[in-house]
Amino acid sequence: MSRLRIPLFIYAGLTVSALLVVAAFLGIAAVEGRSPVVFPGVSVYGVELGGLTEQECREKVRDLETRLRQTPITLTQGDRVWRVELGELGLRLDEERITAQAVTAGRSGFYVSQLFERSRIGRNGLRLDLEARLEQECFRRVIGELTADITCPPVDARYHIGDDDTVQIIPHQDGYQVDFDRLSAAILEQLQRGDTRTPLAIPLIHVTPEYTTRDIEAMGLTGLLAEFSTAYDPTVVNRSYNISVAASVLNNLLVAPGEIVSFNQIVGPRSSEAGYRTAPVIIKNEFQDGLGGGVCQVSTTLYNAVLLANLEVLERKNHSLPVNYVPVGRDATVVYGAIDLKFRNNSESYVYIKTAAGNGRVTVKIFGDHRNHPRVEIKSWITETLDYRTVYENDENLEQGKEVVKQAGLRGYRAQAERWIWRNGTVEKEPLPASFYHPVPEIIAVGTRETPAAIAMPGGNGLPDTSPPAEGPEPLVPVVSEPNPGPETQPSFDRINGR
């Protein structure tokens, strides 16, 4: 069998081709080894970048950004026209991204693919995206200033309580604002097309408020459900101040149907950081100075208003001693983190709480759907009176035979209360939490100091010296007012007629 002979010129041709391929690869490698330059035909926004190094490319992009920032555009809205430079709107170019795209053009993929890509760029050119953006803080601020007189924020519908406690609904107002996202996209799209002369209409969007007139009407506030006031001494400055602070926190409280209100959660800790001052409070059946003295008068006033509004009381506790601003059995003490006043809005409408404190009175008003609100009365009475005991304490500062009242005694009480709810001429009697008030013992100081013997001085009359001792005045007798609950057969009433 004879072998196939390949002509010598074919061997020569294959050898030359191989050498050319090797030379091409070596040439590409040599080029890649040098500092890269942008291949001819690469441009951005009409600016030729071919033949530039990476640093030179960045400088070209910066120059382009400067020129574009000085370019004015026209914005319109109705018959209003504004001209503003793109730089004022925060135009920026991403020079790093543009430069990276320019340098890597024709340098991705296999070597053969790169050759074809470079050939295509050389024939047809490669126009890079502008990679522009508008800095939003600057853009929104400038556009907002330009359109301030044609835009307006929405206004919620709201209730207005008149001086005569009538309820009026103030309708909502729709708002109109610039659609910043659409406007920003339109400006950049127009810029990318190279069209900065065509006016752009500023798009506006209709904005509905959070609470519309229909929303407020659905809340069902039509009038006053209940009102209760208690008196305090305005000359006791710190206590009066604490009452004002606590009442102001409760003011304008809106309670949804079924919502539970916690006095402690709403008012918060009674601390100096919250603005409270030191005033008398009841601690361990004694009046002592403490932060927030007077807050319990606000909780008591709220408790009575809640009862008259026919809301559901979930938690209430009386003071350990009687207080003089409400009848026995109708107070509500609070201690943050320990004792709370809680109630539930068990009606089908919202309730709205208004408070006021000043000129020696704190008032709580509760508004809701008064159209079917029943007449409510509160009855309280004493079931047992507890006499106080008398305690004698020796006092070496007093002479033998002398007695001084150091603490006046107070009677204690057990009391009951009821809420009377009138509907269609009949009354429903609802028992309220019972109350127990501790008696306060009377403390009498008994003198134990021996009386010195009388010494007749020369020229004297022989009688003992009856002038007061030099140690100081006798201890003062504290004045503690005792409540005047009245006889058990005379209950106390408070009521508000349903409307």
Residues 276 and 305 in one domain: yes
Residues 294 and 372 in one domain: yes
Read off the pTM.
0.66
> What pLDDT is recorded for position 305?
98
| 457 within a domain of the structure (yes/no) | no
Residues 362 and 278 in one domain: yes
Residues 374 and 285 in one domain: yes
How do residues 215-239 score in pLDDT, each as one tens digit?
Answer: 999 999 999 999 999 999 999 988 8
Residues 198 and 236 in one domain: no
Residues 318 and 359 in one domain: yes
| 101 within a domain of the structure (yes/no) | yes
Q: How far apart are CA 298 and CA 363, in angstroms?
A: 8
Q: How far apart are CA 82 and CA 270, in angstroms?
A: 56
* Residue 447, H or E segment: strand 442-449
Q: Which residues contact 168 (CB under 8 A, 6 or more apart)?
A: 159, 160, 161, 162
| 12 within a domain of the structure (yes/no) | no
* Residue 121, H or E segment: helix 111-124
Closest CA to 305 of 263, 245, 348: 263
Q: Which residues contact 495 (CB under 8 A, 6 or more apart)?
A: 308, 375, 376, 377, 378, 420
Residues 317 and 409 in one domain: yes
* Spans of the chain below 70 pLDDT: 1-35, 275, 278-292, 453-499
Q: Which two tokens stand for residue 104?
A: 């890597």
* Phi-psi sector, 252: left (phi>0), alpha (psi -120 to 50), beta: left
CA 38 to chain CA centroid, Å, is 57
Q: Find the largest Cα–Cα distance for the chain.
A: 176
How do residues 272-330 score in pLDDT, each as one tens digit?
Answer: 777 677 655 555 555 555 555 789 999 999 999 999 999 999 999 999 888 889 999 99
Q: Which residues contact 313 (CB under 8 A, 6 or more apart)?
A: 303, 306, 307, 342, 343, 432, 433
SS3 of 124, please? helix
Q: Which domain holds residue 306?
A: 220-450+475-496
> What pLDDT is recorded for position 493?
40
User: Which pairing describes strands 403-407 and 412-423: parallel, antiparallel, or unpaired?
Assistant: unpaired
Q: Are 154 and 174 in contact, with CB atoms under 8 Å apart?
A: yes
Residues 333 and 406 in one domain: yes
> What pLDDT is recorded for position 293?
76
Tally of domains in the chain: 2
Residues 236 and 89 in one domain: no
Residues 242 and 104 in one domain: no
| 169 within a domain of the structure (yes/no) | no
> What pLDDT is recorded for position 157?
96
